[in-house]
Structure 1
Amino acid sequence: MITKTALENIVSKQRKMLANVSPGHPREIEESIPYLTDRMLLIGGVRGCGCSALLHRMLNNDYPEAWYTDFDDPRLGGFDAGDFTKLDRLLEESGKGIALFNRIDLAAGWIEFCDRKIRQGIKIVSTVSLETLLRLAKAERPDGTGAVPDIFSLRRLDLFSYNEFLSFTHKPAGEQAVNEFLSRGAFPGLIKTGHTEALHQLYTEILCKDAVIAGGIRDRNTLQRMALHLITNTGEPVTANKLREKLKIKAVSTAAEHMQCIETAGLVRFVSILSDNPARQAVNPRKVYAVDTALAAAVSTAETVDRNKLFETMLFNHLCRESRSVCYTNEQGGCDFIASDAEGGVRCIQACYDDDPDLMQTKTDGLLWALRQTGSSRGTIVTADRNDRIDAENFEIEVIDADTFLGGY
């Protein structure tokens, strides 16, 4: 428990500290963040994506008179329902109608507190962990105890886009910039340093805090081996059973549970095969993609990292920002991405880093099969630096360079 006076002092010191910190780099998501309403705006993402910096920008630029509390402060460790009663009184005494919180989901009883304040007319914005965001998206309480009040508006913050990278680094667009984006990655706080040690530290922090501890995993060693295997095999198909065999895990259920924890922590994402049949999706492998190309390369044990797979991963992460869902196909050589948007539009896209005629033909064959299956008339093959147009079977295939594709094609 914390006294009201101590809480007031901590909150005051937090605000003074922010006054001496420059707001973070502008983010594209700022243009689409909704106006504050009778729904609480929650922003979450993988650790290191810049949620706290975004909240600081909102406080500085949009709501300078708002109440602010950072629950990630160690002085507020163990914050619970009783402490929320004191925060409630302080907020009422301040007369402020808008409250911004950083990582409010670290405090026990936060949903009840926010529900009460929203019903009292207080507008609330808070950052949360990716796990909390994903659970709420499924209408589940983060502690798994049931449904949640219908008071949340959820937004996921991804790592830097290519355009954000260009703006942050002041680099001109082009093939060289794409290669730098591929090598330096998209974590906002690590682009300038680029040190492998910093990436290792972030990887360990995500794994320990957001997968092992948050997931309640007892067998830490097995989860660590699985996470390393998944992130360094980015772009490859995987199944829980194959991972069980390879990593010598006792049960398929344990392997599946570990996969879910690693994805919820934000280290990877899984992509299902294109199908309207859930049973077919369940029996087919899913492809795994690392959250960041630089992070995947930094933790890789291989002497040389597969540039083709990193290129494919970079394109996948770009598509995740713009698409409602992404699937893949494996017929006729396969199609890397079938991306669907919120309006029902479908795009069939291949990644082809190496300028090899045989590989380009394989990519074309797989793309044509996907176009026939989806009923689309146009497909795209993204290359490192080539631009062309292919007409085949009454389909139009556009070959474009990655700079054009990532820049907003």
Structure 2
Amino acid sequence: MNDLFRPVIRQKILDMQAAPLPVLTPRDVWLPAVPGKALAVIGMRRAGKTSFLWQQLAQRHAQGTAREGLLYFSFEDERLAGLQGGDLDVLVEEFYRLHPDWRDQRRCTFFLDEIQVVPGWELFARRLLDTENVELFLSGSSAKLLSREVATSMRGRALEAVVAPFSLREALRHVGQEPQQSPDRLPKAGQSQLDAALERYLAEGGFPEAQGLDARSRTELLRSYVDVVLLRDVLERHNLSQPQVLRWLVQQLLGNAAGGFSINKFHADLRSRGVPVAKETLHQMLAHLEDAFLLHSVALATDSIRRQQVNPRKVYPVDTGLMALFDKSGKPNSGHALETTVLHALLRLGAQVGYVLTPGGFEVDFHAALPDGEQWLVQVCLDIGDTATLQREVRALQDAQALWPGVRCLLVAQFMPPLVDLPPGIELHRASHWLLGTANE
């Protein structure tokens, strides 16, 4: 079987290494720096994983690695149908036949995209790391290359790098409007443009392909993304037999973005409508949707497993652009969109995130435990111009401080009066500034 694929593989290598490098928007993706590990580039469909692989290739080329030492190879090619894990040696053989001076002498980098279509790829990847002087990137459809699968299949030989839709900074960079100075140094006109860009981002989201589209085209595009995730990454992959229940679940979750969700209540509602579904099935569906990166759920921040289980989870879409697809009110919910955006900013920092219910009955949007051990309480509010609103948000943070003494307390707001009187220990951040990173430096 090897000889059947050899000419195609050789030609693909030649064509790739002769192709001009694409000009793409640089992404701010954190890469773990652990020698000897493969990097699995994961994330929701259409978030930009393939583009990110090309950017990593271009970066290494700019740093001095010759093109012959850099291999991008996509296995999503009908000419490779039937390729098995045992045939993958042909890729290595043909690469080093073309570039014999590289074998064992210099370190090259392989970017293997859509590798999950080849049965038995895991054994090949592990052996490649063990026997060749290669830096290895793996990526593919989230239906078959999820983080938990990579960890299992590669037996500890792979770490993950998550590619999400554009952040606010990346979206601005994409259209050539990324501020080149600290946002708090912008003139009035620049600040107004930044605030307008944030409002647009909250409504339209950050999927790269959706940038700049009119509302109808963007809606149809994003709807197609969701449909593919539900069909291929959840229903087909996990062999589920109740597609309508899954759609109802997604409608409930994304139609109430940033709201609380209880499997028990949803299950009771379905039963009242005569829909027979097991509660365990609903738990599995929610887990599958998170695995496919369509949404992220946040549990109560507590050391008590029982309290986490009996309290609702708060659910957020992977991208604010999806909210309009499921919100039947027809009105933009900028407050929940801002909360969703802040959550994803915290996740990009590597934070473990929960929400807080205080002894006084207040709720704080997020408790974030950062990798360096620092802890934040983060309250998100669209507009604190109203005195009563400001007092409520501050009181919630103060009440939560009793649970985490000494924690850093942040109030992130999009609209605020020129002067705000806050008690000691409460930091106020303009949302556009905080999202661009000035609060995290």
The reply to whether TM is greater than 0.5 is: yes
Q: 2:354 maps to which residue?
A: 327
Distance 1:79 1:163 in 2: 40
Q: 2:371 maps to which residue?
A: 342
Which of 251, 255, 259 is the equivalent residue of 2:286?
259
- 8 Å Cα contact 1:71-1:106 kept in structure 2: yes
1:326-369: per-residue Cα shift (whole Å, max 9, x none)?
11012332000111100111111111113333332222222112
1:147-201: per-residue Cα shift (whole Å, max 9, x none)?
x423213211222111111111233552111101111211122112252211112
CA distance 1:98–1:175, change in 2 (3 Å): closer
Note if 1:159 corresponds to 2:165.
Answer: yes
- 8 Å Cα contact 1:385-1:400 kept in structure 2: no
Which of 290, 314, 324 is the equivalent residue of 2:341?
314
SS in 2 for 1:250: coil
Q: 2:24 maps to which residue?
A: 24
- 8 Å Cα contact 1:43-1:133 kept in structure 2: no
Distance 1:304 1:246 in 2: 26
Q: 2:122 maps to which residue?
A: 111
Structure 1 unpaired stretches of 5+: 142-147
Q: 2:139 maps to which residue?
A: 127
User: How far is 1:71 from its partner?
Assistant: 1.9
- 8 Å Cα contact 2:346-2:368 kept in structure 1: yes
SS in 1 for 2:24: coil
CA distance 1:72–1:390, change in 2 (3 Å): farther
Distance 1:255 1:388 in 2: 48
User: How far is 1:84 from its partner?
Assistant: 1.9
Distance 1:54 1:152 in 2: 17
- 8 Å Cα contact 2:368-2:377 kept in structure 1: yes
Note if 1:51 corresponds to 2:49.
Answer: yes
Distance 1:293 1:224 in 2: 19
Distance 1:382 1:249 in 2: 43
Distance 1:13 1:239 in 2: 54
Deviates more, 1:216-225 or 1:326-335: 216-225
User: How far is 1:389 from its partner?
Assistant: 5.1
Q: What residue identity is the alignment partner of 1:199?
A: L
Deviates more, 1:91-100 or 1:53-62: 91-100
Q: 1:145 maps to which residue?
A: none
1:244-267: per-residue Cα shift (whole Å, max 9, x none)?
223445211011011011111111
Q: What residue identity is the alignment partner of 1:22?
A: P
CA distance 1:87–1:273, change in 2 (3 Å): same
Q: 1:230 maps to which residue?
A: 253
Distance 1:299 1:162 in 2: 22
Note if 1:69 corresponds to 2:73.
Answer: yes
- 8 Å Cα contact 1:14-1:70 kept in structure 2: no
Note if 1:150 corresponds to 2:177.
Answer: no
TM-score (norm 1): 0.89
User: How far is 1:400 from its partner?
Assistant: 2.3
Q: 2:185 maps to which residue?
A: none
Note if 1:178 corresponds to 2:198.
Answer: yes
CA distance 1:36–1:72, change in 2 (3 Å): farther
Distance 1:213 1:277 in 2: 35
Which of 414, 420, 426 is the equivalent residue of 1:384?
414
CA distance 1:267–1:59, change in 2 (3 Å): same
Distance 1:246 1:75 in 2: 49
Which of 416, 421, 435 is the equivalent residue of 1:406?
435
- Give the greater-gyration-radius structure (CA): 2
Q: 2:187 maps to which residue?
A: none
Distance 1:379 1:396 in 2: 7
Identity of aligned residues (%): 24
Distance 1:10 1:232 in 2: 48
Distance 1:154 1:360 in 2: 40
Q: How many residues align?
A: 397
Deviates more, 1:84-93 or 1:223-232: 84-93
Deviates more, 1:331-340 or 1:119-128: 119-128
Q: CA RMSD in A?
A: 2.5
Deviates more, 1:119-128 or 1:40-49: 119-128
Distance 1:375 1:55 in 2: 43
CA distance 1:67–1:219, change in 2 (3 Å): same
Note if 1:79 corresponds to 2:90.
Answer: no
Which of 40, 43, 68 is the equivalent residue of 1:42?
40
Distance 2:260 2:118 in 1: 38
Deviates more, 1:59-68 or 1:285-294: 59-68
Distance 2:276 2:379 in 1: 34
Deviates more, 1:247-256 or 1:69-78: 69-78
Q: What residue identity is the alignment partner of 1:93?
A: R
CA distance 1:34–1:282, change in 2 (3 Å): closer
Note if 1:274 corresponds to 2:301.
Answer: yes
SS in 1 for 2:415: coil
Deviates more, 1:128-137 or 1:366-375: 128-137
User: How far is 1:55 from its partner?
Assistant: 0.7
- 8 Å Cα contact 1:380-1:398 kept in structure 2: yes
Distance 2:47 2:122 in 1: 24
Q: 1:290 maps to which residue?
A: 317
Distance 1:398 1:348 in 2: 10
Q: What residue identity is the alignment partner of 1:268?
A: L
